[in-house]
Chain A
Amino acid sequence: MTWQGWTQFAIFALLSTAVVKPLGGYIERSLDRRSSLARLGAPVENLFYRLAGVEPEQEQGWVEYAVALLCFHLAGIVALYALQRLQAALPLNPQHFDAVTPDLALNTAVSFATNTSWQSYAGETTLGYLTQMAGITVQSFLSAASGIAVAIALVRGFARRSASTIGNFWVDVTRITLYVLLPICVVAALFLVWQGVPQTLHSYVTATTLEGQPQPIALGPVASQEVIKLLSGDGGGFFNANSAHPFENPTPFTGVVEMLLIFLIGVALTSTFGRMVGDRRQGWALYAAMAAMFLVGAIVVYRAEAVGSSAYPSSIDQSAGPTQSGGNMEGKEVRFGVAQSALFATVSTASSDGAVNSMHDSYMPLSGLVLMANMMVDEVIVGGPGSGLFGILLFAIVAVFIAGLMIGRTPEYLGNKIEASEVKMAMLALLIVPAFILGLPAVAAVLPVGLAGLNNAGPHGFSEMLYAYTSGAATNGSAFAGLHANTPFYNLTLAVAMFAGRFLVIVPVLCIAGTLVTKGRLQPAAGAMPTHGPLFVALLIGTIVIVGGLTFFPAIALGPFAEHFAALTGATY
C-alpha cells in the first residue's frame, strides 16, 4: 500500500462527503419545484403532464403508486425488448448488427428496466446506436428516477402525519429526471468528451496495427451513455470492458470523477432524507453508517490486492515501486493500478452500480468476498439512487424493532410507532433478495446447464455462480467474469432474479410508506432511543452485518473462504 493510494482514498472520501449537503438540498427543493432550474423548467414539465394526461396535483395512495410504477416499467421492458429484436430493420445501426436473440433481449430489457444492467453481451458487437441510445440510455434514466421516487415516497411516509397519500409517481419521476438527472448528465458528459470519451454517430473506424493487420476501433455515442451509466447506478457499459476501456474511462482523473458520479445521488439522498423529516442529524446518522461500512470494505480490498498472491512464483515482483503499483495486477489496468482499481470495485459493488474498471474474477478471494458482501447486504452501503436509502431505512426499522425488544418499549422511529405491519413488510423486503441469491445458485450448481457455464472449478467456480445471482438479485449488474452467462438458462434465471430483486422489494417499501403516512406523530418521550447518535449508528451497522452474516455465511464459506484457505496451501482454481 502506498501513500499515493491512500491519497486517492482520502480525496474520494472528502469529495463524496462534500457533495452530500448541497446536492441533498437541491434534490429536496427540486421535488417541490422550488429550485431555480425547476421553476425554469415548469412549462416543459407541465407540457409532459398535458400530453400524458397526468393530473400533477392529484396524489396517490401506495397501491396506486406501486401499480403505476409496475406498469411504467412493464412498458419500458417491452419497448427495450422490441428495439433489440427489431434493430436490424431500424436506423442508426451502421455496423448492421442482427437482431438480439429472444432470451438475451429479455434478459437485457429486464436488466436495464430494473436498474441492474447485468450484461450477457458485449455492447460493441451486439447493439446498434439506436438501441444503445433510445433503449439502454433511456431505461438507465427512468429506472434511476423510479428508484429515487420510491425512496422519496418512503420518506414522505415518515415525514407526513395522518395523511393518505405518498405522492404522485408520474410527477416524482418527471421532476427527478428533468431537474436532477438530466442537468448533471449534460455537464458530466461534456467533461468526459473533454477528457477524450467519444460522442459520435459515425460507424467504427479501422486502424492498421504494427503487424499490418486491420483493427476495427469501436466508437459511438459513448459519453452520453457513460454518464447516466454511472449516475443512475446502472453500470452497463457501452463497451464490453466497461470502465476499463480507454474510451469509457480515459484517464485517472475521469476514474475519480466516475466514482464520484456513482456515489453522487446515493450519498446526497441521506441529506434529502434529513431535510424532509425535519431533522438533518437523522440523515447524517445514515450517512455515517454507510461511510463506516464502505471504508472498512475498501481498506480490506486495497490491502488484499496490494499484498498480492503467495501463489505467484517468486520471480514475479509484487512490490510497489516507481515503475509499478505492485500487488495483484491480474485483471487490472496498468493506468489505474491497485489502489484505484480496489476503490472503484468497492464503490461499484457498494453502490449498486456495477461498473467495473478491473476484472473482479481476478481479485484475491478475500476481496471477492467483500465485493459480494457489499451486494448481499441489499446494497445499503450508499446503494443505488433511491434503493440505497430505502434499503438502509428498512434496516433502520428492523434495528429500532430489535432495540425496542431489548429495552421493552414500543419501537419508534422519527416519531412514528413501528408496528407489526411495518416490521412484517421490512422483513419481507429484506428476505426476498436472499431467497433468490441463495436459491438460484443452488439450482444452477446441480443442473448440467448451470455447470456448463463455468470456466473454473472448485470454490472459485461456485463464487462465479454465486456472484452472478447476487449481482442480479441485488440489482448491481457487475460481473465476476469467468461465467459464460449468455445461455437461455442463465439469461432467463438471471432475469427472474433481477425482476424479483427490484420489484418484490419496492412493493413492500411502498406498503410501509402507505401504512406510516396514516399515523400521527408520537410526542418525544424521555425513554425513547435517539436515532441520530453514534449508538444508533452502531446498532444499525450491527443489524446489517448480523442479518447479512447469518444469511450468507454458509454460501460464502463454500466460495471465497474456501478459496482463500485453499490458496494458503498453494491450491488455485
Chain B
Amino acid sequence: MLDFLMLALLAAAFLAALGYVWACEHLVKRPNHSHEPHS
C-alpha cells in the first residue's frame, strides 16, 4: 500500500516536471514587447 503511495508521489513529481517544461517553453515563446514604444 505504501509502495503505491510512494510511486504515486513520484508520478505526481514527474508530471509536475513535465508541466514545468511546458511552462518554460511558453514563457520564452511569449513575444517580447519590452522595446515597443509606450502609449
Contacts and interface: CB of A to CB of B under 8 A. Distances in A.
28 contacts: A66-B21, A67-B21, A70-B17, A70-B21, A74-B10, A74-B14, A77-B10, A78-B10, A81-B7, A85-B3, A102-B2, A105-B6, A106-B10, A110-B10, A420-B34, A425-B24, A496-B13, A499-B17, A503-B20, A504-B17, A504-B20, A507-B17, A507-B20, A507-B24, A511-B24, A511-B25, A511-B28, A514-B28
A535 B26 CA distance: 36
Interface of B: 2-3, 5-7, 9-10, 13-14, 17-18, 20-21, 24-25, 27-28, 32, 34
Contacts, number: 59
A508 B9 CA distance: 23
Contact of A424 (B17, B20, B21, B27): B27
Interface of A: 63, 66-67, 70, 74, 77-78, 81, 85, 102-103, 105-106, 110, 419-421, 424-425, 428, 492, 496, 499, 503-504, 507-508, 511, 514-515
A499 B28 contact: no
Nearest to A99: B3
Closest 3 CB pairs of A and B: A102-B2, A421-B28, A106-B6
A425 B29 CA distance: 12
A496 B12 CA distance: 11
Contacts of B27: 421, 424-425
Contacts of A511: 24-25, 28
B14 to A, nearest CB: 5
Q: Is the interface of A mostly helix, strand, loop or mixed?
A: helix
Contact of B28 (A103, A425, A492): A425
A515 B32 CA distance: 13
B32 A421 contact: yes
Given A74-B10, A425-B27, A428-B24, 19 more contacts: A63-B21, A67-B21, A70-B14, A70-B17, A70-B18, A81-B6, A81-B7, A102-B2, A105-B6, A106-B9, A419-B32, A425-B24, A425-B28, A499-B17, A504-B20, A507-B21, A507-B24, A511-B24, A511-B28
Contact of A515 (B10, B17, B21, B28): B28
Nearest to A105: B6
Which of B2, B6, B18, B24 lies at the interface centre, i.e. has the most chain A CB atoms within 10 A of its CB?
A: B24
